[in-house]
Structure 1
Amino acid sequence: MTNVLFLVVDSLRYDAIHDDKISTPNIDTLAEEGISFSQCFAQGVSTAPSMTAMLTGRYPLDYGGHWYLEQGQPTMAEQFQANDYSTAAIHSNPNVSRLRNFHRGFDMFEENILPFDPDGLVNNVPDELLRYANKFARIFQRTPYLPIEKINDNLTEWIDTTREPWFLWTQYMDVHGPYLPGDDFTYANKFRAERLWRKAAVNAPEEITSDEHDELWANYGKEVEYLDREIGNFLNDLSSKGVLEDTIVIVVGDHGDEFNEHGKYGHGNLPYDELIHVPLIIRFPESAEVPQPTNKEEIVRTIDILPTILDFVDADLSDEMNDRMEGESLMPVLQGQEPSYDIAVTEKEMRGEDYLRFGFRTTKWKYLYDGKHEEGYLYDLHDDPEESTDVADEHPDVVDRFETVLTDRLSSIEQTSEGITIPDIEQGKGVEERLEALGYK
């Protein structure tokens, strides 16, 4: 059977690996050897909705939403586990933590969220003392997450000691703000990066100067290059051990980051393309009967990754997974067929708010709905790929079509979430402070 290596890169936008000034030879090689999807769109503009979609194969807001996986929701890991796979997750993202129920189905779930976790030897230490210990440790840590080198060391250790076949998921955080200049670490550039990131993503994006904007993008590019190098080192190590011969490698961005294209930085805006157009590369083993290398230009969705990989390994799915899964296998697309859909949906419930945002994208049109102001916007992507001019008044028939899709989504969300209770999550001050360091208010 085939191993599955699922490498998610937080905040990696599509154009970052196609920018002539950003060097990504290892990701490029992976794309040249496998299947590269040039029109892949995420189902969320931030981690919680996007990863909910990828790990469950359903839209983020169905079945109680994306901030917590309710107990009846089957997951990707559970399907692999039921098909006799060893399963593991190793990451440091608070938005996909055990607290939010993302651990189900994993034999090993390692979340490196806080330097001092209230478990094991420190489980009797007072919460306030742990909070100050974590806050103090953050001053000396390079980043508010575990860097890729340490993540890869942990991934390698698990692969070396587990039985095959296995399913392994990680979420690299290095491209996420605050943007350091790659691995060129000093405390001076650490503190500057954190200050600039807070200014851009949270406090005063309108006050970012031209030089600061250029610095943000340049450092983002250096983070992408650093990530590419370490992914290359990791895959080369696995290749030298013969591990990759029977392993599917998936590299995908969970969402992008905005650099003032629509007045903001980070990923808290409406689903513009800079936030939802992400790279998706799947390299199958050479022995697989898959037409690779190739580039697919059809619109596909990150929600389709789960059914695609489960289809390839011929996994048996639970009845509940079959009932809830909205994504569809891309294996027919790889054989030349068209997807059954023509709209990529993106959606989110805003953190700490009670309104929803939606994006509906086709090859020609983008319709955005902002529930905060109950307003819709239409963009003609052929004439206006930068999504700068709202043409809703000029195309009422197109707006009507998308409003029907929106109404159907709202109805589905209401129906699927009926009777489902999501518990209140007490994250603790330490986790909240970690989220704030990542740019979340």
Structure 2
Amino acid sequence: MTNVLFLVVDSLRYDAVADDEFDTPTLDELAEDGISFTRCFAQGISTAPSMTAMLTGRYPLDYGGHWYLEKEQPTMAEQFQRNGYTTGAIHSNPNVSRLRNFDRGFDTFEENIFPYDPDGVVENAPDKLLTFANKAARILRRTPYLPAEKVNRNLAEWITSTDDPWFLWTQYMDVHGPYLPGGDFGYRNKFRAERLWRKAAVNAPDEITPAEHEELWTNYRKEVEYLDQEIGDFLDQLDERGELEDTTVVVVGDHGDEFDEHGLYGHKNLPYDELTRVPLLIRFPDSAPVDQPTTLDTMVRTLDILPTLLDLADADYSYEMTERLEGESLLPVIDGASPDYDAIVTEKEVRGEDYLRIGFRTDRWKYLYDGKTDEQSLFDLAEDPGETDDVADQHPGTIERFRKRLNDRFEKIEETSEDVEVPDVDDDEGVEERLRALGYK
């Protein structure tokens, strides 16, 4: 059985890999040697819904939603575990922490979400003390996340100490704002990056100057290039140790980031393509029954990754996974088949609110629904790939068909979540401080 290295890059847009402006030799080589999906779309525009979809193979809002994985929800790690794999996760993203039940199915779940965590005392520390300690620790640290260099060191140590076969997931945070100028982790760069990120993504996006916009984009590019180099060094190390030969390597963005294409920065907008279209690269071992290299322009979904990897492993699914699985294996698509779906769904529940944002994308159309205002928009992607001209009034029949899809989706969310009990998760003060540092507050 092949090992699986599942590398998720937070906030990685598709054009960051496809555009020659970005120097990404490692990702280019993976695309040239493996399978490159040029039209892959995420099921969420932020981490919680997107990773829920990827790690469960279902839509984010079904079965209690994406802020917490309820106790009956099967996961990708559990399926690998039940099929004889050792499973590991090493990351520093507070949106997919054990506090939200994302550790399900992992033999090792190493999260670095607290700048300050005195050996588990965090759970019992007074809120004021915890908040102060984490603010102080965040000021002293040069990054608001664990940098790729340190993540890869931990990944390599885990692989070296683990018997085959294994499944290992990480979520790199380097490309997520605040954007530092690549691997230059000086304090001056950190504080400037944090101020600019909060202005752009939180406080005043309409006040970003052309020079500040250019700085944000330039630093985003440098972050992508830094991460590409670190992934390359990591894969080279695994290759030298003989660990890479029988390993499937997956690189995918959980969602993109917006740079004022539709008035905002970061990933708090509706599901426009700059937020939903992400790179998906899979390099299979030579022993896998896959014809590679191949570039595929078929529209696919990130929730299809789970059944693809389990299909490759000839895995036996649990009954619960079979009942809830929405994704489809991409192995037949690689062989030339078409997916069974004709529209891609992206959805989320807005943090701290009770409204939904949902998008449907076909080859020609993008339909967007904003639950905050109950407004709907329609874009003809053939004529308007930038999604700037709302043509809803010109196509009432098309709007009516998408509205029916939307109502069907509402019914499915309600039906699947009817008897599901999901607790209210009051995040630890340390996690709240981490989220504020990343621009979620």
Q: Which residue of 1 aligns with 2:139?
A: 139
Check the 8 A contact 1:258/1:265 in 2, yes or no: yes
Q: Which residue of 1 aligns with 2:180?
A: 180
C-alpha separation between the residues in 2 aligned to 1:258 and 1:279? Answer: 15
- Structural mapping, 1:10-409, within 5 Å: 10-117=10-117, 119-120=119-120, 126-409=126-409
C-alpha separation between the residues in 2 aligned to 1:2 and 1:25? Answer: 25
Pairwise CA distance, 1:38: 0.2
In structure 1, list runs of 5 or more residues that go unmatched: none
Pairwise CA distance, 1:185: 2.4
SS in 1 for 2:368: strand
Pairwise CA distance, 1:254: 0.1
Cα distance change of structure 1 residues 225 and 403 upon mapping to structure 2, 3 Å threshold: same
Q: Which amino acid in the other structure matches residue 302 of structure 2?
A: T
Check the 8 A contact 1:62/1:413 in 2, yes or no: yes
Indicate the larger mover: 189-198 or 13-22: 13-22
C-alpha separation between the residues in 2 aligned to 1:364 and 1:291? Answer: 29
Q: Deviations over 1:366-413 (max 9, x none)?
A: 000001000110000010000000001111111111111111110100
Check the 8 A contact 1:118/1:125 in 2, yes or no: no
Q: Which amino acid in the other structure matches residue 269 of structure 2?
A: N
Cα distance change of structure 1 residues 430 and 279 upon mapping to structure 2, 3 Å threshold: same
> When the two structures are aligned, how many residues end up with a matched partner?
441
Check the 8 A contact 2:130/2:429 in 1, yes or no: no
Q: Which amino acid in the other structure matches residue 352 of structure 2?
A: G
SS in 1 for 2:245: helix
C-alpha separation between the residues in 1 aligned to 2:123 and 2:410? Answer: 43
Q: Which amino acid in the other structure matches residue 103 of structure 2?
A: H
Check the 8 A contact 1:88/1:107 in 2, yes or no: yes
Pairwise CA distance, 1:18: 1.8
C-alpha separation between the residues in 1 aligned to 2:140 and 2:29? Answer: 36
Pairwise CA distance, 1:235: 0.5
SS in 2 for 1:245: coil
C-alpha separation between the residues in 2 aligned to 1:225 and 1:17? Answer: 10
SS in 1 for 2:352: coil
Q: Which residue of 1 aligns with 2:433?
A: 433
Pairwise CA distance, 1:287: 1.4
SS in 1 for 2:5: strand
Check the 8 A contact 1:118/1:130 in 2, yes or no: no
Check the 8 A contact 1:50/1:255 in 2, yes or no: yes
Indicate the larger mover: 293-302 or 140-149: 140-149
Q: Which amino acid in the other structure matches residue 244 of structure 1?
A: L
Check the 8 A contact 2:35/2:295 in 1, yes or no: yes
Pairwise CA distance, 1:426: 1.8
SS in 1 for 2:244: helix
C-alpha separation between the residues in 2 aligned to 1:121 and 1:66? Answer: 27
Q: Deviations over 1:303-338 (max 9, x none)?
A: 100001100110000011000000000111011111
Q: Which amino acid in the other structure matches residue 104 of structure 1?
A: R
Q: Which amino acid in the other structure matches residue 134 of structure 2?
A: N
Pairwise CA distance, 1:424: 1.2
Pairwise CA distance, 1:131: 2.6
C-alpha separation between the residues in 2 aligned to 1:396 and 1:123? Answer: 54
Indicate the larger mover: 421-430 or 86-95: 421-430
Q: Which residue of 2 aligns with 1:414?
A: 414
C-alpha separation between the residues in 1 aligned to 2:263 and 2:49? Answer: 22
C-alpha separation between the residues in 2 aligned to 1:124 and 1:332? Answer: 50
Pairwise CA distance, 1:116: 2.1
C-alpha separation between the residues in 2 aligned to 1:124 and 1:274? Answer: 41
Please provide the CA RMSD for this pair: 1.1
Pairwise CA distance, 1:52: 0.1
Check the 8 A contact 2:123/2:428 in 1, yes or no: no
Pairwise CA distance, 1:363: 1.0
Q: Deviations over 1:113-143 (max 9, x none)?
A: 0122254477765443333222111112111
C-alpha separation between the residues in 2 aligned to 1:122 and 1:68? Answer: 20
Question: Percent identity of the aligned residues?
Answer: 71
Pairwise CA distance, 1:430: 1.7
Check the 8 A contact 1:48/1:66 in 2, yes or no: yes
C-alpha separation between the residues in 1 aligned to 2:31 and 2:168? Answer: 20
SS in 2 for 1:48: helix
Check the 8 A contact 2:378/2:392 in 1, yes or no: yes
SS in 2 for 1:270: coil
What is the TM-score with the length of structure 1 in the denominator? Answer: 0.98
Q: Which amino acid in the other structure matches residue 136 of structure 1?
A: A
Pairwise CA distance, 1:428: 1.9
SS in 2 for 1:379: strand
C-alpha separation between the residues in 2 aligned to 1:171 and 1:134? Answer: 22
Pairwise CA distance, 1:95: 0.3
In structure 2, list runs of 5 or more residues that go unmatched: none
What is the TM-score with the length of structure 2 in the denominator? Answer: 0.98
Q: Deviations over 1:22-81 (max 9, x none)?
A: 100000001100000000000000000000000000000000000000000000000000
Indicate the larger mover: 109-118 or 144-153: 109-118
